[in-house]
């Protein structure tokens, strides 16, 4: 079957992957309302295209934290990618490098920071969970620095793991042939099989529930890498993040896998952008399936988007066709964004403005 859009990879992945693994990547928390809303919210944003603009040349290049990339589409952290494909994070890293964009490696990757670095040059960020044992965190940050990672993406929405009922029913655990590679030498690379979710039990035992803004300062003190906070959804927390001196913010609801019935990230984006007041770049993840989605996020003030938070397009493409699948996803999203820009009358990312879209809030304001 010829793949014509990124969503078509999901059915292929569903057929290829064991049920426990497919469900882990595909599911959300509790009623999965936010999981559906992450997608549905994009469909309620409409375009206001401009016409008779010379769009014979379109520039998608941009800069993120000072790094030049080919497009405002980057790869979000997704844990345990070797469950999807034997090459896992190594294939994803190579695909991102070939597309000249950024890959974010999960703390809970099944390839170590050193192994990912060995795939060759590329701009890579490292996503961090803060463990109760701060020496574990210190070692991991040092290893990421030595392996050439360019930023730390601190996940701030996971003091406990959200209730993911598919994982409970499946008694999810990491397959015995795999380990959380970054923690292998610390005897923290395995999950125990439990009567519910092995990952939930692992998080309860290892992740620090006391994490607070003072720990952002602690992290800044142990590394010279820029700190991006991932999991911000409100203006109040945006202002605190700016005060803490972070380098960037990712508007994220953890792929709808933490607290159900929070808004779609695209619906929270504008609030965060306004509160940031241009002091730090704001990025978005969650729900991106089309180049039109990327355009809408940029129009609402995002500096770029991260695709495939906790699975979805990148991971399904990886399962279906390895590195080639991930390359294809990035290529399709890039081409769709370029087409959307052309049909909207924009020749560069800077020309994409709030006036190019209509949201539910705009419609209500006219009543």
254 in active site = yes
3 state SS of 231? strand
CA angle, 46 then 35 then 93, to 5°: 90
Which of these is catalytic: 124, 150, 254, 290?
A: 254
3 state SS of 331? helix
Q: How deeply is 192 buried, as exposed, middle or buried, from its count of CB atoms within 10 A (0-12, 13-18, 19+)?
A: exposed
CA nearest 140: which of 150, 157, 152?
152
Q: Could you tell me the end-to-end alpha-carbon distance of the chain, in angstroms, rounded to an integer?
A: 47
**340 to each of 70, 287, 337, 351, how far by Cα in Å?**
17, 17, 5, 12
Burial per residue of 289-326, b for 16 or more beta-carbon CB atoms within 10 angstroms, e otherwise: bbbbbbbbbbbbbbbbbbbbbbbbbbbbbbbbbbbebb
Written as six digits, the tokens of 63 are 């800069």
Angle between helices 33-43 and 291-299 (to 10 degrees): 80
3 state SS of 72? coil
Pairing of strands 248-251, 227-232: parallel
H helices of 27-155, where?
A: 33-43, 88-98, 113-117, 134-146
Host H or E run for residue 296: helix 291-299
Three-state SS sequence of 2-53: CCCCHHHHHHHHHHHCCHHHHHHHHCCCCCCHHHHHHHHHHHCCEECCCCCC
**CA 329 to chain CA centroid, nearest Å:** 14
How many Cα neighbours within 13 Å face the side chain of 310?
A: 23
Q: Would you please indicate which residues are annotated as catalytic (active-site) residues?
A: 254
């Amino acid at each position: 079957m010829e793949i014509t859009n990124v969503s078509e990879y999901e059915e292929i992945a569903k057929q290829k992957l064991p049920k426990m693994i497919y469900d882990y990547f595909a599911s959300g928390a509790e009623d999965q309302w936010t999981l559906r809303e992450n997608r549905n919210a994009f469909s309620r944003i409409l375009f206001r295209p401009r016409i008779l603009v010379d769009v014979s040349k379109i520039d998608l290049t941009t800069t993120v934290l000072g790094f030049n990339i080919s497009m405002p589409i980057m790869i979000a952290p997704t844990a345990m990618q070797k469950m999807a494909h034997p090459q896992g994070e190594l294939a994803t890293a190579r695909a991102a490098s070939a597309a000249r964009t950024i890959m974010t490696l999960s703390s809970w990757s099944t390839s170590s920071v050193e192994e990912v670095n060995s795939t060759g040059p590329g701009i890579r960020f490292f996503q961090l969970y803060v463990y109760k044992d701060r020496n574990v965190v210190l070692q991991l940050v040092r290893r990421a620095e030595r392996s050439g990672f360019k930023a730390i993406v601190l996940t701030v929405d996971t003091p406990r793991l959200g209730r993911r009922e598919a994982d409970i029913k499946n008694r999810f655990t990491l397959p015995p042939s795999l380990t959380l590679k970054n923690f292998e030498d610390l005897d923290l690379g395995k999950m125990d099989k439990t009567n519910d979710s092995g990952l939930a039990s692992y998080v309860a035992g290892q992740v620090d529930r006391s994490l607070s803004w003072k720990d952002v300062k602690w992290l800044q003190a142990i590394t010279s890498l820029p700190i991006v906070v991932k999991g911000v959804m409100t203006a109040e927390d945006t202002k605190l993040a700016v005060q803490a001196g972070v380098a960037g913010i990712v508007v994220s609801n953890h792929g709808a896998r933490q607290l159900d019935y929070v808004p779609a990230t695209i619906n929270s984006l504008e609030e965060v952008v306004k509160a940031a007041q241009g002091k730090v770049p704001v990025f978005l993840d969650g729900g991106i399936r089309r180049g039109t989605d990327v355009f809408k996020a940029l129009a609402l003030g995002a500096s770029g988007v991260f695709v495939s938070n906790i699975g979805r397009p990148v991971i399904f493409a990886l399962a279906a066709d390895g590195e080639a699948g991930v390359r294809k996803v990035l290529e399709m999203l890039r081409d769709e964004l370029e087409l959307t820009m052309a049909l909207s009358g924009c020749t560069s990312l800077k020309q994409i403005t709030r006036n190019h879209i209509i949201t539910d809030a705009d419609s209500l304001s006219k009543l």
